Structure 1
Amino acid sequence: MNRSWLEPAFDSGFAVIRALVLAGVLIGDVLLLQPAPTAGDLVVAGIGVALCLVAGRWVFGALLAQSGLLVVADALGASTVSSLKVLAAVTLFELALRRSGRPLALGAAALALAVAANRVEDLPAELLPVLYKMGIVAGLPLLLGSYVRVTRDAARRAHEDARQQELRTEEQLSAARAAERAAIARELHDLVAHHVSSMVLRVGVARHVVDAAGTADPRITQVLDDLHSSGSAALADLRGLVTVLRAPHDARDDTGPLVTPGALRASLETVVERSVQTGLGVTACLDPGLARLDAVRGQAVLRLVQESLANAARHGGPGTHAELVVQLDEYSVRVTVEDDGAGRAGPTVPGASGHGLIGMRERVHVLGGRLDAAPAGLGWRVTAQLPLPVPQMETQQ
């Protein structure tokens, strides 16, 4: 939150500087405005300067002393009474900046009584003018100082609240990123565990076939045994890690089993059907070659489509129409979801996390792809492009 250049002038750290300015005002009044200051004027002015300096640290005591000095100076007929009155009013303003409650009330009362004491010979005939002068000298700085203090405190609280909200937002974003990465890790570990399990099974079959033949080199049997043992240990470690990642308190509603490449098109059609059931109109164009997509990118495509259609239904509401296009070429797979925003905002779609865009960016970033999300007319367009792995690109070529 930006601060005005004038705000620091009222901070407590500048109290001494403000006191020095007041002392300079009094010295200038005596030396420049008084034609022939007497010794009494100089003494009173010196005491006033000392009290200004004291006010920088002990403002309440300085105000009481200035109120008493004001009465004494008037009794001595000093020419600096008017300046002392202004300085006392400014000191009361300073007190109102720092304190509230009883000290402030006592300080204002002391200054008001000092003003009344200097006009006591005019009472009761001049009661209203005296009361008016008491209100100007004591009441006005009291109100102004209190107003500045309250405004400054409110600005400080607003700044702290904004800072706390910024920290909470950063924590929520970090939590969303961590949750999405955990989901991706669970899926990748499921995939790796599946392939390692298949490899261990095939090594075991090969070992039994070699044993049954009875003509194998013992070194081959030893290598197969080592492979089987290492694969089994790796599989056990993976299963243990997956169990930790799938802890109940960390589970997410949108995280399910991995989709196999051949089932990707059917899974996408199921997502479209569920979106239509929520009131979202969907036109889908799915590339027939999706069955050739590997499991990791297939899973990413499925999650991107799920989140994008969920966001379209949530923010657009019933009556919104979305177009889904999933294209596969020799270098990448491209997902585009664009809605027209024609509906009215509907209820929150189950499973929408509120940080879906962050999760999609994390998922695409992990695979080295690119995601663009921006308004498109009244609606929204999400475009993601995921590069295909090198072996798959070579195969298609």
Structure 2
Amino acid sequence: MGWVGRLFDARDTFVRMLLLCLSGVGYLLFGIQGAPTTAQWILAVLAFAAGLAFHRRPVVNMVTQAALLAVAISLLSDCTINQVGASWALLELTMRAQRTRTFWLAAGLLAAVDLTNSIGDPLGRLLSGVFGLLLEVGVPLLLGLVIRTTRELALQAQERAAEEQRRRESEDRAARADERSAIARELHDVVAHHVASMVLRVGVARHVLTDLDPRVSEVFDDVHGTGAAALADLRRLVAVLRDPEGVRGDAALTAIEPSALPAALGAAVDRARQAGVTVEADIDPAIGSLDAVRGLAVLRLTQESLTNVAKHAGTSALARLSVSVVDGAVHWEVVDNGRGWVPATVPAGGGHGITGMRERVEVLGGQLEAGPTGAGWRVRTVLPVAATPSPRVGPPAGSPPPERGARARTAGPA
């Protein structure tokens, strides 16, 4: 509604009435010839006081102003102040009345009062009085109807926009639910099925092959345990995808207890060592007090990075893991010396490890730096206390990982 809406806002009735009263005082002092009579001052002050006192009761104000106008017509030769007061009261009532019948009756009352000034006068005076109704009754009534209609149209537009927004949000939620259900079906029917088959076959092999070398048996046990843990994570993930609302809090992220984080990181380090990678770990005990979400992020970043070291740098590589808590922020880094890295093992299309790690970090307000350092590779980040944007320390999200020499090295599984 623009400036008209701001000028005639329903919350500013007192301000409008005060400005009208000040204008009326100015008219009495400077707008009429000669000095105002005592009757003019009395009726004007009564009109001002009624307008200010009943600015939130437009019906009462309308009746009062019409009565004062009837008295002014019978006593004064110049009743402009009371005419303006009554017209303004009709305008306020038209804008704010809940029922249309109210302001139409008020308009009829004001017209009847105005026409009393022409009773018994010649036809010319009567026609002049009827013409005056166009200004005293018609203009405020028309302006009030315009403002009233504009407000109603604006309200209807807002309601339609809100309804459209709710409809779009509902459609988006339904589409996301369908996507999650489709992903859950694929995970359950394809990935989880194959993982379960592998775990089952490894378990059968452990029991059938009874005369294995202890080292081979240990590898079988590790593969079986890893597969069983992956299968459990897949089942939790499928449950979350199918019913996100049914999983409490951080469990939706398959989070671990904060106090169990040091042990979980130790297990990830041991698994990398079992794969042949030499890992030097410097883990701050204070990570046991982290919140579950950042704790899960630290664990997943560590597992992903150590897996990448074994996959791309080889089992003869040396990796260093550093996790510390400084002023509530988590400083995490994994760096390797790059020995044994075989370019042929890198998929032609690259992998998704760096992208997934970067997305996980950015959700928590951090930035991931991943790139070569000497002959090796380094991945590091800082997870802030709150999820606020932090200074960028690595390449933009979604950018391909840097190259080591002329050969690209992937930081995640294909």
TM-score (norm 2): 0.53
The Cα shift of 1:171 comes to 3.7
Partner amino acid for 1:168?
R
Whole-Å separation in 1 of the counterparts to 2:236 and 2:26: 83
The Cα shift of 1:17 comes to 0.8
Q: Is the 8 A contact 1:332 1:386 kept in 2?
A: no
The Cα shift of 1:148 comes to 1.2
Equivalent position SS for 1:74? helix
Higher relative contact order (CA 8 A, sep 6+): 1
The Cα shift of 1:197 comes to 2.2
2:12 alignment partner in structure 1: 14
1:332 equivalenced with 2:349 (yes/no):
yes
Q: Is the 8 A contact 1:15 1:56 kept in 2?
A: yes
Q: 1:85 to 1:164 in 2, by over 3 A?
A: same
Whole-Å separation in 2 of the counterparts to 1:200 and 1:153: 67
Structure 2 counterparts to residues 126-275 of structure 1, below 5 A = 126-211=125-210, 215=211
Q: Is the 8 A contact 2:195 2:227 kept in 1?
A: yes
Q: Is the 8 A contact 2:180 2:242 kept in 1?
A: no
Q: 1:330 to 1:243 in 2, by over 3 A?
A: closer
2:23 alignment partner in structure 1: 25
Q: 1:392 to 1:55 in 2, by over 3 A?
A: closer
> Percent identical across equivalent pairs?
39
Whole-Å separation in 2 of the counterparts to 1:83 and 1:91: 12
Whole-Å separation in 2 of the counterparts to 1:194 and 1:32: 94
Partner amino acid for 2:52?
L
Whole-Å separation in 2 of the counterparts to 1:56 and 1:64: 13
The Cα shift of 1:27 comes to 0.8
The Cα shift of 1:72 comes to 1.1
1:71 alignment partner in structure 2: 70
Whole-Å separation in 1 of the counterparts to 2:103 and 2:38: 34
Which ranges of structure 1 fall in alignment gaps of 5 or more residues? 248-328, 335-364, 370-383
Q: Is the 8 A contact 2:13 2:56 kept in 1?
A: yes
Q: 1:239 to 1:90 in 2, by over 3 A?
A: closer
Q: Is the 8 A contact 1:16 1:56 kept in 2?
A: yes
Query: 1:266-300 CA distances to partner (integer Å, 9 max, x unpaired)?
Result: xxxxxxxxxxxxxxxxxxxxxxxxxxxxxxxxxxx
1:4 equivalenced with 2:37 (yes/no):
no
Structure 2 counterparts to residues 28-39 of structure 1, below 5 A = 28-34=26-32, 35-39=34-38
The Cα shift of 1:135 comes to 3.9
Q: Is the 8 A contact 2:117 2:129 kept in 1?
A: no
The Cα shift of 1:207 comes to 3.0
TM-score (norm 1): 0.55
Equivalent position SS for 1:122? coil
Equivalent position SS for 2:209? helix
CA RMSD of aligned residues (A): 4.0
The Cα shift of 1:367 comes to 10
Q: Is the 8 A contact 2:87 2:137 kept in 1?
A: yes
Partner amino acid for 1:33?
G
Whole-Å separation in 2 of the counterparts to 1:106 and 1:135: 16
Number of aligned pairs? 263
Whole-Å separation in 1 of the counterparts to 2:89 and 2:19: 12
Q: Is the 8 A contact 1:189 1:242 kept in 2?
A: yes
Equivalent position SS for 1:173? helix
